[in-house]
Structure 1
C-alpha cells in the first residue's frame, strides 16, 4: 500500500497541481473556514444548535459544579453503564471558571494528578469568564481558532517559498479539527509551541520563553519540540540559547512546586500510569479480531471499530520515516517525531487505543514536527504520511456527518 501511494506522489504533474492549490493561503483559509464551520454545524444541529455541545458536559460533573454550569447547556447523560461523565472539554471549562473568579479552589469531582498541571489553556481562557459563563464557552472557541490560525501564519512564515504549501497540511490537520470539536487543549498546545519556535528563530527570546512555558503548561507534549531543541543547542555549544530554552521550564516548574504544596500526592511521575508499551495496540488488534470472528454485521459498529486502523497505518508510516532521509538535517524534529511515536506505541488500551478520540490526539503534534523536519531535509519520503492524514480527515468528516449518533442528553 505504501509503495502504491508513493508512486502517486511521483507523478510530477499531479504533484505540481496540488502544490499550487495548497500554496495559495487565501484559498486554504477559505477551506479552513468552511471545514470548521461544517464540523460545528454537524455537532450543533444534533443538540438544539447549542455551542455548549462541544464542551461535552457530563451530568456527573455538572451536578457537582452546579453554580458554574451555564443555564441551557447541553449536558450528556451517558450510555448504559456510564454515569454521563462527558469529556475533557468540561474539565478545562470548570478549571477556567475557577481562575476567572481569582480562585484556586479545585473544581469538584476531578482528579488532580494530570489535570492540575495543565493550567495553560484554562488560564488563557479565564479573562473571557469575567463576562459570564457563556463568555467562557465562546472564549474556548476563540482561543482554539485564534491561536491555531496565528500559528499557521507563523509556520508558513518559517517555510521557504517552495515549501510554503506544507503549511496547508498544518491548517487542515484532522487532529487539530478533532481537538477543536472537543474543545480540548491539543491544538492550543501545538499553536503555542509553533509561536514559541517562530519567536526562537526570530531571536525574540523573551517571547519564546513565555510561549514555550505556556505550551508546556497546556500539555506536556510541547516538550517533544523543546527538549531536542535544547539538546541541539548544547551539542552546538550555543549556551546562551540553551539557557533561553531551559527558561521555558520556569513557569511549569513554579506551578509544579505550588501543586506539591496543595496536593501532596501529586507527582510528575503520575503520568507514567497511562502507558503500557504495546498494550494499547495489542488490545486494539484483539478488539478487531473479536469483531471479525463474531461476524457482527452492524455497519456503524464496524466503522467505529475500524476507524482507528488508519491511525495504526499512520504510526507505521511515521516509523518508516524515522529511518529515512539525511541524518545530518532536521535532527531536532526527527528526535521529537520519534519521541511522539514512542508514546503512541506505549499508549495503553483503556485510556488511549480503546477510543478514536483519545488515540488520535496523540498524533496532533506530529504534523508540525514533520513539516519543520521537511523544511530542513528534502529527502524525506513523506507522501504516504500525508495521504494517510488526508484519508483520516475525510473519514473524520464522514463520521461527524453520518456515523456519530445523538447521545442521551438534557438541557441544563
Structure 2
C-alpha cells in the first residue's frame, strides 16, 4: 500500500469517527430542532421540522439589524434580569395562528402578508416559544449551551423595534436563526432567537418526579461590575429659543452654538446633572473627552494637628475672655488657698461600734412592736365591719 493510499484511509477513518461522534453529541442546534418538532405536535398538532439552524455571536450594538417592523417581536424575561427576544416573521406567525384557530395551515398568498401584528398574535405564539426554550435547555451536553436557553418566560410584546432595542441591553448576544417547515412544505417561516451570553451553569435536577433545569451563577462581582454600562451625554452649550421656533426645525437647519473652543464641554448623566468638565476632541477617529481631574484630596485627610489650626475656622479656647480679667483681678480667692474640709478638730468623737449596734437593735424592736399592734388593730376593725 502506497503512502497516499495510507493517508486517504486514515482520513476516511477519522472522518467516520467524527461523524459518529457528532451523531451522538447533543448540540444546541440539534436540541432546538428536536424540541421544535416535539412541542409543535404536542401543543397544536402541527407537523413541523427545522430545515436549518445556524448560530453566531453578535454584539449588543448589532441587535438593531435583526429587528424589523414586519416581524413579531416577543421579549422573554430570564433569570437575573436578563432579557431575550424571539423574532417571528409574518409567514411563521400566520401558520401558527391558522393551525390553532382553523386546525390546518394554508399556503401563503402570492402578494405576501402585510397584516400588522396584534397582542392576540403574541399570546398565541408565546406558548410555543416558551416550550421550545425550556424543553431544549435540558438536552445540550455542555452546561454553557444549557444556560443559554434556560429560565425564559414570555414577558411582553414589543410593538416597535425601538422598544425591543431598549430592553435588549446586554453587551453580547447569541443569534440563533431557524428555518421552520410547517405542514410538509405548506409554509416555511423563519424564527430568530436573540439570547444574551449567560454566566450561569445549568444542571438537570429531579423535582417532583420531573426533570427540571437549575441555574447556578458563576459570575463574580468584578465581572458583573465590568459588564455594567453607563450612558453619559456631552453638553457643549445651552440655547434658549421659543417653542414655536423649535417646532419649526427641520432637517438641514443650522444652529449657531456661539462656541470658540471645545474646552468647556460638560459630562452629563441621564438626569441632566453635570458630573465633570472636559475638552471635546477625537482619538483614532472616535469622539473623545479629556476630563479635568479635580483635586479633592484636602477633604480626605483628618486635620488634627496644632499646625492645621490656621486653616480651620475654629474658636481659640485658650485665649482670655473679653475684658482680659482673670480670677485674681475680680477678687476671687485662688483654689489652691481654699480650705475645702475646714477644721477637722471640731468634729465630735465617734461612738463605739458595738454600742451603736445595740442602740440600733433596740430602736428596731420598739418599731416592730408598734407596727404589730397597729396591724392587730386594723384586723379587729375589719372583723367588726364584716359582722364577725
TM-score, length basis structure 2? 0.19
Q: Which structure has the highest strand share of the two?
A: 2
Higher helix share: 1
* RCO comparison, higher one (Cα < 8 Å, 6+): 1
- Looking at CA atoms only, which structure, 1 or 2, has the larger radius of gyration? 2
